[in-house]
Chain A
């Protein structure tokens, strides 16, 4: 079903420069929101989404046991993997203690995990490169000051006190 905008409606939409336009049905007083097709595509999955699948193992905020076991195996094998220069920079994947494979891209390894029917929390992928800390340990990252904002000094209310 498709309704064409009138000239006046088209002008209103243009004036809003991408912002939603409210449309009212005068007979029912029901309001509708008119948005551009590309905006609708951005939110469509949210409108149609059913309940998201949940991770069955582990509790919220914790590394699931299957993933953690796979990380342990990666950390255990990393020194051996690093001893081969040609493996550096390549991806490796573990499912529990088993090494699924080594590849130049993560996608190839994940494809193999999917073929085996593994869930996202049952395998671990990482890059073979020197590390100073285990993958499950908290990493300290650089604090980010946010934006800089120019202050109009002629406006006393704008000067931070």
Chain B
């Protein structure tokens, strides 16, 4: 079992996070995780790969959605260098799917914006990442959807008492419980 997010806090008040030189508003009850994106062929994320915040949104039914501007400026990825593998439609919007994987950066226990000295966890995303045109104005923050967690068999736990989130890979007890059920 690997713990990816340990006691990651979220807040009931508005907050801010700094991405590069930009301050980004975080609204109450938004769970922020730090991620990187890479081409599928990147098997080990370079230590200086750009990290940026994404909203963990279990209501988002795709893997990962991001605005083009954030893909370029925050993730440091030029979409011209990444193959398109299809598209999604959402309401009146169409977003292209790029063959990218996401990497989740483990946090220091109890801290949101400080990182643990553990390697990032690669989220293998078969459908890739949805990239919305800038004019869509959506999403305001990149979204990490439930599909990405399910695809990678990750276990999410939200503790409402202490407003903390834990995310981990399955362990032998998980498999045993699954096998017995």
Q: A: which residues have CB within 8 A of B? A: 18-20, 33, 35, 38-39, 41-46, 49, 52-55, 58, 60-64, 67, 71, 91, 105-107, 110-111, 113-114, 120-121, 124-127, 135-144, 146-147, 149
Contact = CB atoms under 8 A, between A and B. Distances in A.
A110 B19 contact: no
Contacts of A110: 40-41, 43
22 contacts: A18-B18, A19-B23, A44-B48, A52-B78, A60-B80, A61-B96, A62-B84, A63-B84, A63-B85, A63-B86, A71-B85, A106-B101, A107-B124, A110-B40, A120-B83, A125-B126, A136-B85, A138-B86, A139-B89, A141-B89, A144-B60, A144-B138
Interface residues of B, number: 53
Interface string B74-116: 0011101111111111110010100101000000000000010
Contacts of A126: 126
B139 A144 contact: yes
B52 A140 contact: no
A107 B43 contact: yes
A111 B43 CA distance: 8
Given A45-B50, A144-B60, A106 B40 contact: yes
B64 to A, nearest CB: 12
B80 A42 contact: no
A76 to B, nearest CB: 17
A61 B41 CA distance: 20
Contact of A144 (B43, B48, B59, B81): B59
